[in-house]
Every structure is written in structure tokens, then in C-alpha cells.
């Protein structure tokens, strides 16, 4: 991974997190939305996660600690009492920082944080065609437990959703 640290994101990281999010919206099937976000919307999302007791992590180069190279978070899986010990996470890495182990490091820290909060299960919902993300999760100990066919849509294409699950 080189000279990268995984830290708690601050509002100063919101512009970089926004840029990573919006790139994924424009160019990938990682985020099933065609609507970009604003920095203020990302700050609000970050505040909501923190208020709920969930982390928002950012990968930074210690020489430039305000520049986001990637980010990740987790939150409520489903809003029913039976899922209280299960969280769903997301991880995104800037294009120029991919294939450097940053995604793997963010996932590892998210798993550690979820365990520290007493969570029992972490879920990742991934576009089934995203072989890189599926491999990253499997290397981190997640098990592919099922695929929901045709449940999503983006850029006029129907998409399948793969569920990867890790017992904590």
C-alpha cells in the first residue's frame, strides 16, 4: 500500500470524497445512480453516519493528508430489529490510486471498527460484473452468498447485485 494512512474523515475530506463518488456515478456501475452529489450533500451524509455511531474513513498520503485517495463507511443493513448486529459497507478508491492496496486497507479497518462496535456480520452489495471488487472482498474473507438478477438499472442496462458476507 505504500505511504498511505487510513484515518477518520473530516469535513476537509468532503471535496475529495465527492470527486471519487461523482466519478463512480459518471463512469462505473459501482454506484447505481446517475445523479451526482455535491460537497454539502456528502458532508451531510458524513455527519449522519457519525451521528449514528458509524465511521467514515478516508485513505490519505501523510504528505498530503487533506487529499482523499479512497473512502469507506458502513451503516444499517436493514432498518428492522433483527438486523441490529449487521452492517452494510461501501468502499471507493480514486482511479489514480487503484491497485495499490488502498481498498483492501479500508475494508480491513471497516471490519475492525465493526467488530469494535459489537457487530456480528458485514455485508457488501456489489455489481455482479465487478470482478475486481468481488475478488477484493473474497480476499478479505467475504463469501459470495447470492446474486439478485436484474434488480438494478443504470445507463439503460439491467444489473445483477451480488451479496458478499463476512461473519465478524
Q: What is the CATH number of the domain that holds 109?
A: 3.40.630.30
> Average pLDDT for residues 35-54, to the nearest whole number?
98
> Average pLDDT for residues 48-75, to the nearest whole number?
96
> Average pLDDT for residues 89-97, to the nearest whole number?
96
Range of the domain at 146: 5-167
Q: What is the pLDDT of residues 107-156, one digit of tens each?
A: 999 999 999 999 999 999 999 999 999 999 999 999 999 999 999 999 99
The mean pLDDT of the chain is 96
| pLDDT exceeds 70 at position 158 | yes
**Residue 1 pLDDT grade (very low, low, confident, very high; cuts 50, 70, 90):** low
Question: How many structural domains comprise the chain?
Answer: 1
Please give the full DSSP string across 24-84, using - where no structure is assigned: HHHH-SSS--S----HHHHHHHHHHHHHTT--EEEEEBTTBTTS-SEEEEEEESSSSGGGT
Amino acid at each position: 500500500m505504500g505511504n498511505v494512512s487510513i484515518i477518520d474523515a473530516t469535513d476537509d475530506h468532503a471535496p475529495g470524497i465527492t470527486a471519487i463518488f461523482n466519478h463512480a456515478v459518471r463512469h462505473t456501475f459501482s454506484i447505481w445512480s446517475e445523479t451526482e452529489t455535491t460537497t454539502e450533500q456528502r458532508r451531510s451524509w458524513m455527519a449522519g453516519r457519525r451521528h449514528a455511531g458509524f465511521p467514515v474513513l478516508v485513505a490519505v498520503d501523510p504528505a498530503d493528508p487533506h487529499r482523499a485517495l479512497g473512502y469507506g463507511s458502513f451503516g444499517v443493513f436493514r432498518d428492522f430489529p433483527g438486523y441490529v448486529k449487521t452492517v452494510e459497507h461501501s468502499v471507493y478508491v480514486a482511479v489514480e490510486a487503484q491497485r495499490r492496496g488502498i481498498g483492501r486497507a479500508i475494508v480491513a479497518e471497516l471490519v475492525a471498527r465493526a467488530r469494535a462496535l459489537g457487530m456480528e456480520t458485514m455485508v457488501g452489495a456489489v455489481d455482479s460484473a465487478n470482478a475486481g471488487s468481488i475478488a477484493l472482498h473474497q480476499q478479505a474473507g467475504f463469501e459470495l452468498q447470492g446474486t439478485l438478477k436484474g434488480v438494478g438499472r443504470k445507463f439503460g442496462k439491467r444489473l445483477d447485485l451480488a451479496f458478499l458476507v463476512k461473519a465478524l
